[in-house]
Amino acid sequence: QNSRTYGGRGSCRPITDETVCTLQIYPRLSVKPGRSCILRVPKEATAATVIKTALATLGLDTSKTYVLVEVQEYGGEEWILQASDQPVQRVLLWPRKAQDKHPQSDGYFFALQEGSYDGSIQYDVMTSVRQEKVAQGLANRGFVTQQPQEYDDLCNLPELTEDSILGTLRHRFHKQKIYTFASNILIAVNPFKFLPIYNPRYVKMYENHTLGKLEPHVFAIADAAFHTMLNKRVNQCIVISGESGSGKTQSTNFLIHCLTALSQKGYTSGVERTILGAGPVLEAFGNAKTAHNNNSSRFGKFIQVNYLESGVVRGAVVEKYLLEKCRLVSRGKTERNYHVFYYLLIGASEEEKVEFKLLHPEQYHYLKEEIPIAEDQAEMKHEFRRLHQAMEMVGFLPSTKKQIFSVLSAILYLGNVTYQPKDVGEGLKVGPDRVLYAISDLLKVKVELLVEALTTRKAMTANDTLILPYSINEAITARDSMAKSLYSALFDWIVLRINHALLNKRDLEESVPRLSIGVLDIFGFEDFKTNSFEQFCINYANEQLQYYCNQRIFTLEQEEYRAEGITWHNIDYPDNIGCISLFSKKPTGLFYLLDEESNFPRATDSTLLEKFKQQHQDNPFFVQTPVREPAFVIQHFAGKVKYQIKDFREKNTDHMRPDIVALLRSSECSYLRQLIGANPVAVFRWGILRATIRTLAVFNEAGRSWAEKHPGNIYGSLIDFSFDRSEEGPLEAFEDIFTTFENKNLTDFLFDWINFLSLLHLHTKKKPPSISAQFQASLSKLLETLRKAEPFFVRCIRSNEQCWYTGMLQTVRIRRSGYGAKFTFKEFTDQFRVLLPKEISTPQQDITNLLTKMGLPRSSFQIGRTKVFLKESERQILQEALHKEVMRRIIILQRWFRACLMRKQYLRERKGIITIQVLFVWLSRGFKKNAFSRPVVSKCFRCNDLPLLLSFTSLLGPKASGSHSNFPRVKSSATFPGPRRNPTIKISRATRVQEKWNASLDREITDSNELRHLDEFLGNQVCVDVYILLQLFERHLDFNSKVGFDTLVNPNIGYKVLMSGYQTRVSSLAGLKKASEVPLVVNLFQSVLDGFIRGELKRLEADPLGHLFSTYQVTIMQSCDQCSSFIWGMEKAFMCSSCKMVCHKKCLSKITVNCTGHCDRKVSTAETLHFGVPVCALVRTADSVPFVMEKMLVHVEMNGLYTEGIYRKSGSVCRARELHHLLEKSPQAVSFDNYPIHTITGLVKQWLRELPDPLMTYSLYNDFLYAADLPEESERLRAVYRKLDELPPPNFSTLERLIFHLVKVAKEEAHNRMSVNALAIVFAPCILRCPDSSDPLLSMKDINKTTLCVEILINEQTRRYNQKMEEIQQLENAEAMAVKQLKLRRQNTYLCCTVHKIFCLSFRNDLAFRLPEFDQDSSDAENMDSESLVSSDSLLEDHCVSLDSEGQY
């Protein structure tokens, strides 16, 4: 499909005046298109001004909303201009041709379009829908002719003819409905433009829906194949057929995109990313522009995606068929070479152009036929960036990409090699020199060897080797052969690397049951002006594919009907087995004759043509041509095709020449040597083996060096072999290594690699098979794979194509008359046993009676000898009846079970009431002691009845004096308030009042939620006086303090006003005494307020209107759901994990639509309901837990962890209803102390079960099941926690709190007898339940998976809990040890201080003894010194005492 922008017209033209420009606006309206208008506007004119002027000029209704759209049709983009955008500035970014005079057909213009109130526009498909409604209204009123009824399934047509089929397809195509069903066959009409119907929300829309329930879509086929594979445990395949240019490649991309999206359940190992990246890589190297198609696949591919039985992708395999190598060197005049060459030349950076010696496209001989126009170059630059990203997704390293681009550049340079005869002697001169040196540098080969390979060839004789020069024609053929062989080897190597990246390494280690879905995208039927060997093979493949479809749709179907003996009239269909026999029947088939002539040395294309005509002159599928015309005609299923016989033999034996192989093997680049192996797989494996042997050599060398240093410690013999570590060594050098390893008894290790030399055909003269033989072998393998799988068919047709040759009429006829649903008697009785009698004696009769009883028409089903045949519509009716019957029986069982419980409860209550009555009678008689009363009392009131009596006396209710609750009083809110934290904030006195407020203070509060968040935020700050703020709110919002913030609908208060009022209020309270402290307080409040504003803006950006956006890499072209412009492949976008909205990053701030996957958090809190309400409506902040849930869990943790069977046993139904009513009315005033613990635990489970959307959400139900079904425990754990991150924040917080509670319960298993598995069994149906629309019989099979998923969560959180407790214990032990060591150190310090004190006293006494010997004049100074010494001594004593006291403490 060609992704060109749909609809729209417009242009603009700046005039010569520098201040005024002329804009030409084209209206694009739903009612009337209107004519264009020319406006003269100044350069600084905004879009709003232009729209206003255009409306006045065109005379349109100004009350409606309009938008100005900039259309760049060749870039595939439409941009909605904002009101402040300047259209003239946008014009300056257009090409110069578009700025001067631009016709509307060139694709750069402005369009005036009706818009929604949110500023978005609608697609053309929506415009057509509106036009359809208007036309239908006119038809209903009798103004126009009634249009025929639309059918989305051709089998429902009232009259089945070729005209009615084509009319229906045409009618739907004009309504932008390109898909139509023919039973389970999808017909896709190529619209040659992009339609916005492939976003992720469409994948979600079609997920797990019966085929035909929704509008036809390619995603419906992918979903049907995926779930059929899971349900039947049978491999599936999707066969895409159609003519070249019918959209097969795009349909394949859409199918692969949907299949990988369906399989991304839980943890993904990166295989899906590799699969999606492989598509653009293969398209770049294998697709090209042809006369009929801008993106034609020049090779066939079969992508087989492997799954585990749980539906998780395990790996994939890509098979390629017949790359068209001749396109590299010659093409038609209107065709191009492979895409990758243009991407490289136009999209490469300047550094890359220098490194790879790139030139302009017109300077290459291989590209001069068709040069990209200027409009295509921007797209090719984008495609080159996309190719880079795709190669990284597949796993190509930057060095590998450089080597690939070097080979591509060398291939292009080969086309520029020219030849001239030598002036003297035989031979050719080759040049120019710069080209030869460029090729030599890119391929890392010597120039002399390159010239020799391009000008001469070697001929082997019995005794000698002859070197013969080429003629000019032979040299050109050798040059082109080298380019084609090199490109073919490169393409094969890329496919090999992709398959290696898609290989799951665990498949080599373990055998796991696997399923698969194959998607076949093979070249379409081709009939060009000149058809050659490639079209010959391509059309044969299409003949085989058509035969396979006929076999599946007609032959096998009708044979089964006849074998079962049901009433059936055969439908004739065009059989093409004769044409296939013409190609492949031994020994006179065209392929065998071609191989036979290719082996004759003197055979020519003319002798080959004569042999064709001689052998098949009487064959009706072989049409004779004039004698002298070098061509032949074959009657294909799609019509006659004339093939030119030229180069048939050469192309059939187009192998890499030995001289070229020798040249490339002499390259210094190891990567290039890998490309030219006869078997790329063997070369790739040899590289792995070489790395392994080198690793062993390194270890061996290390062992020798260690043995030399430790001669006495030898533990075993070393592996001894010699190995040349240079990459330049020949491959034959490895033979010595094999011999050495065989002598060391390591043949088992090398058994898989020993045949490498034989695979390379180095020592054999046997010729490799021809191209046609290889193609037939690979095609036979493909058909064998398809026969082992159940097929789905996608028929792609071009919008201007007749479909008579595809057998469409016969296909629809057999699908309409046939039976799409088939069951054996056992399968039918097993699946619909609920609807059948209990005892089935005769299955045929019982099944017939059932279908007749249901009122199904007798023509809609038949009973065969061993099978039941049903129409698809009747099967769906039967399935719905089964679902209703199962639900009816489930309800009956629930009623009986509840009746039994109520009966049991009634009997207990009755027994208790009788006991109480007898007790009152006994007490009223005054304890009379007689012979009659004693037996009555002993019979009616025993010790065992005391608990029952006490339980029923509690039904009378608590006394008035005991009705006061001990539960702490909490703030009346919808969330459970945690402890208030008062962080200490240090204020620097250097803070100064700013003259201007922060720019963030310009924001205004217009949402009650933001006001409530501000209230809670300021309530947790120690620096803010809430009383002052409350007065400010009263002043600016005009409401009293008794009204909560939740009652405000449209508040309007600015942060600047709030800041100014706070400063005024603080100044008035501070007065003159503390006026200097006012700036500090005000600045502190401003910093707190600024922090709240930044957090609020970040919260709104991260979670706009309930959406949960995450980065999403687009693999196929999609459309932004906000601005309606395109999102190209490999670009980054944002996708909501709930509603699957996709948009650009720049559009996140413009979203005005609430998330449809989550509830609106702006729910009015006037409601007092707490049960059966979405979690997001019960919380104020995303990280909080609903108040009722938190209160019940806290009470259970405080009072019930040691109760046996705490969550297994059920409480009193009456008490539960009573408590439920109180919690609904006023949960803050309820005291749980008056209720049994089992009543509260029962309400916990009831609260979870009554949630409209469970904690683990319906949308992620299948994802959690797939995650729990992964084979490895580590993968399961990562997958479950990855899906937990996609839960809405309120659900995540509540689930986290619940799991923590269950961990605490499981920790006391010794007392409450509640293990982790028991808790998972109880809570799995409460928090992870299946959607109500799912089949109850199938959901019963998922109980083990849901239980395992919850058990994984509890076990993992228990492990983390134990780990944290161990860490805390280690910290406590470390703290105790540190305190002990500190105490010892302080004691040692005290001893040192004591010794020092004694030394100081002795020194002081000694000084005092010597004082009389000194002069008395110095006594004053010495007295001062002694006083200071005494004071210092006293300080030392105080310090030691303090240390001693601290050490004791």
What does DSSP say about strands 236-242 and 428-431: parallel, antiparallel, or unpaired?
Answer: unpaired
- H-helix or E-strand spanning residue 465: strand 465-469
- 315 annotated among ligand-binding-site residues: no
C-beta neighbour count of 971 within 10 angstroms: 11
- In sequence order, which residues have a C-beta less than 8 Å from that of residue 1064 and are 6 or more positions away? none
Q: Is 1242 annotated as a binding residue?
A: no
Rounded CA Rg of the chain? 43
Q: Tell me whether residue 967 is exposed, middle or buried, using C-beta atoms within 10 angstroms of its C-beta: 0 to 12, 13 to 18, 19 or more.
A: middle
379: left (phi over 0), alpha (psi -120 to 50) or beta: alpha
CB 757 within 8 A of CB 731: yes
Other beta carbons within 10 Å of 1077: 13
3-state secondary structure of 123: coil
Residue with token string 């796991």:
512
Distances in Å between the alpha carbon of 133 and those of 130, 175, 415? 5, 12, 59
Element spanning 496, H or E? helix 472-502
What is the C-alpha to C-alpha distance for residues 125 and 6, in angstroms, rounded to an integer? 10
Any binding-site annotation on 677? no
DSSP string covering 976-1028 = -------------TT----SS--GGGG-EE--HHHHHHHHHHHHT-TT--HHH
Quote the distance between the C-alpha of residue 186 and its chain's center. 25
- Consult the annotation and say whether 247 binds a ligand: yes
Q: Which two tokens stand for residue 1382?
A: 């500190």
DSSP SS3 for 113: strand
Q: What are phi and psi of 421, to 5 degrees?
A: -65, 145
CA atoms within 13 A on the CB side of 139: 11
Sign for the CA dihedral angle at 1409, 1413, 1414, 1416 comes to positive
Token pair for residue 750? Answer: 């090398």
Whether 246 has a binding-site annotation, put simply, is yes
* Cβ neighbours for 16, distance < 8 A, ≥ 6 positions apart: none
Phi, psi of 332, deg, nearest 5: -75, 170
Query: 439: which 2 tokens?
Result: 């090729």
Q: How far apart are CA 1289 and CA 1182, in angstroms?
A: 5
Structure tokens at 582: 């013409």
Residues 6+ apart with CB under 8 A from 355: 402
DSSP tag of 552 = I
Two tokens at 594? 């071609």
Does residue 324 contact residue 273 with C-beta atoms inside 8 Å?
Answer: no
Q: Is 245 annotated as a binding residue?
A: yes
Q: Annotation-wise, does 873 bind a ligand?
A: no
Quote helix, strand, coil % in the chain, to nearest 5: 55, 10, 35
Q: Which of 228, 264, 268, 207 is nearest to 1258 (CA)?
A: 207
Q: Is 22 labelled as part of a ligand binding site?
A: no
Place of tokens 């433009």: 193
Tokens matching residue 857: 């028409």
Whole-angstrom Cα distance, residue 1344 to residue 1322?
12
List all residues 6 or more positions away from 1090 whose beta carbon is below 8 Å from its beta carbon.
998, 1000, 1001
Binding site, annotated residues: 242-249
Binding-site annotation, residues for ATP: 242-249
